[in-house]
């Protein structure tokens, strides 16, 4: 057992061997999830609370399913109806939940760094389900598992991440994970959607899709994060689609067996052509969703094991 973390706050803190350990366990959960009886009691007796301060479909649903399949008592807090609306601070809300003795706290928040801060205040294991533009570790892990299963490995691949890199926590976590696993990463997008610290990432940067996609193994598309933009980043969605939307013509520049990924939610006709997204020979978007449940099961299982080991004073 090589996974030693108390929380899953970001990819930044993970060692490559921890990533591999988590993916290996997730592979086992993929098998479990494909059976008619999908239950294990890895989290039996534990309480999992999901606090989503930002909208979510896939991430929240898969964390809930993951917890339930592992036998945890799962509570989804309706943040819209919570006291945050009455002016309570994030930390006060967290401390209130903490007093109810949860074991696992899954948090999504619009502010970068909010989940790290919260983890310092509570006694349970905290999982970051996306904080602002900062990190979205379980998304990068599920992307890695999808790639590893499709390509047979998660190292020495050429991977293009395309579109709105600047506002994307998915891109940041993926750049870190794929870099730690020694892949060649290409970032493709307009200069207005590239982060200012782009040179620190150690990736190749392209403005032209056809040039950037040349001979890549994996094409990872990103949604335009309009909710994090205050205007002026792209001329128009039509123009953006023309230059950066993934269509058959642009995809032809990648390797013949290149896979197409998207974390969802997708804007068809903005960053990706609907036919490409639905092409089961190229697109692994549905597999990504499937892997999301398995990866979240693995993450919560490993954190719960570390917690139990710490509570009983035994090292795993
Ligand atoms: C991503 C997110 O929320 O960061 N979605 C997800 O978790 N599946 C990407 C996005 O919203 O574009």
What pLDDT digit, counting tens, does each position of 75-122 carry? 998 777 677 777 788 889 889 999 999 999 999 999 999 999 999 999
* Tokens linked to 154: 């998660």
Residue 8: its pLDDT value, please?
98
Residue 315: its pLDDT value, please?
52
186 phi and psi angles, rounded to 5 deg:
-115, 130
> CA 291, CA 102: separation in Å to the nearest integer?
25
Atom from ligand 1 closest to the CA of residue 136: 4
Number of H-type helices and E-type strands within the chain: 11, 9
| Average confidence score pLDDT of the chain | 94
Query: How far does the centroid of ligand 1 lie from the alpha carbon of residue 263, in Å?
Result: 6
Query: How far does the centroid of ligand 1 lie from the alpha carbon of residue 99, in Å?
Result: 30
Q: 237-242, long-range: CB within 8 Å, 24+ apart, which pairs?
A: 237/270, 240/190, 240/270, 240/271, 241/269, 241/270, 241/271
Best mutation site among 66, 127, 130 for ligand 1, i.e. most ligand atoms within 8 A of its Cβ? 130
> CA 67, CA 295: separation in Å to the nearest integer?
11
Q: Is the pLDDT of residue 316 over 60?
A: no
Q: What is the pLDDT of residues 117-158, one digit of tens each?
A: 999 999 999 999 999 999 999 999 999 999 999 999 999 999
Atom from ligand 1 closest to the CA of residue 222: 12
Q: What is the pLDDT of residues 202-258, one digit of tens each?
A: 899 999 999 999 999 999 999 999 888 877 788 899 999 999 999 999 999 999 999
Q: From 224, 234, 184, select the one nearest 205 (Cα to Cα).
A: 184
Residue 228: its pLDDT value, please?
84
Summarize the confidence of residues 37-42 as an average pLDDT.
96
Atom from ligand 1 closest to the CA of residue 223: 12
Summarize the confidence of residues 43-64 as an average pLDDT.
95
Query: How far does the centroid of ligand 1 lie from the alpha carbon of residue 316, in Å?
Result: 33
Atom from ligand 1 closest to the CA of residue 130: 4
Residue 63: its pLDDT value, please?
98
Query: How far does the centroid of ligand 1 lie from the alpha carbon of residue 109, in Å?
Result: 12
- In the three-class reduction of DSSP (H, G, I as helix; E, B as strand; rest coil), residue 272 is classed as strand
Q: From 53, 69, 63, 107, select the one nearest 289 (Cα to Cα).
A: 63
- Residues 6 or more apart in contact with residue 295 via CB below 8 angstroms: 22, 23, 26, 29, 138, 141, 142, 145
Instruction: Give residues (CB < 6 A) around ligand 1.
Output: 58-59, 130, 136, 139, 169-170, 223, 263-264
- Residues 6 or more apart in contact with residue 204 via CB below 8 angstroms: 184, 185, 186, 187, 212
Query: How far does the centroid of ligand 1 lie from the alpha carbon of residue 167, in Å?
Result: 11
Q: Is the pLDDT of residue 45 over 60?
A: yes
Best mutation site among 263, 286, 289, 293 for ligand 1, i.e. most ligand atoms within 8 A of its Cβ? 263
Query: How far does the centroid of ligand 1 lie from the alpha carbon of residue 161, in Å?
Result: 14
Q: Is the pLDDT of residue 39 over 80?
A: yes
Residue 230: its pLDDT value, please?
78
Atom from ligand 1 closest to the CA of residue 263: 8
Place 314 in a pLDDT band, splitting at 50, 70 and 90: low
Q: From 62, 59, 66, 31, select the one nearest 302 (Cα to Cα).
A: 66
pTM: 0.96
């Amino acid at each position: 057992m090589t996974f030693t973390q108390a929380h899953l706050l970001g990819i930044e803190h993970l060692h490559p061997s921890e990533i591999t350990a988590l993916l290996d366990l997730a592979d086992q959960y993929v098998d479990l999830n494909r059976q008619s009886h999908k239950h294990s009691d890895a989290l039996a007796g534990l309480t999992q609370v999901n606090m989503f301060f930002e909208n979510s479909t896939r991430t929240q649903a898969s964390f809930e399913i993951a917890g339930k399949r592992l036998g945890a008592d799962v509570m989804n807090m309706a943040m819209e109806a919570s006291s945050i609306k009455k002016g309570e601070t994030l930390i006060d809300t967290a401390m209130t939940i903490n007093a109810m003795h949860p074991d696992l706290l899954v948090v999504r928040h619009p502010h970068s760094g909010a989940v790290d801060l919260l983890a310092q205040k509570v006694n349970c294991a905290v999982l970051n389900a996306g904080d602002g533009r900062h990190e979205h570790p379980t998304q990068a892990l599920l992307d890695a598992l999808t790639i590893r299963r499709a390509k047979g490995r998660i190292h020495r691949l050429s991977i293009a991440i395309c579109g709105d890199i600047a506002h994307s926590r998915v891109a940041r976590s993926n750049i870190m994970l794929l870099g730690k696993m020694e892949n060649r990463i290409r970032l493709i997008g307009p200069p207005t959607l590239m982060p200012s610290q782009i040179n620190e990432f150690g990736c190749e940067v392209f403005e032209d899709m056809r040039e950037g996609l040349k001979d890549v193994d994996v094409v990872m598309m990103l949604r335009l994060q309009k909710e994090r933009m205050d205007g002026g980043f792209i001329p128009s969605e039509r123009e953006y689609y023309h230059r950066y939307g993934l269509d058959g013509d642009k995809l032809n520049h990648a390797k013949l067996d290149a896979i197409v990924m998207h974390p969802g939610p997708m804007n068809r006709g903005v960053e990706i052509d609907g036919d490409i997204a639905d092409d089961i020979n190229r697109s692994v978007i549905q597999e990504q969703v499937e892997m999301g449940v398995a990866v979240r099961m693995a993450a919560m299982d490993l954190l719960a094991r570390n917690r139990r080991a710490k509570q009983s004073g035994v090292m795993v």
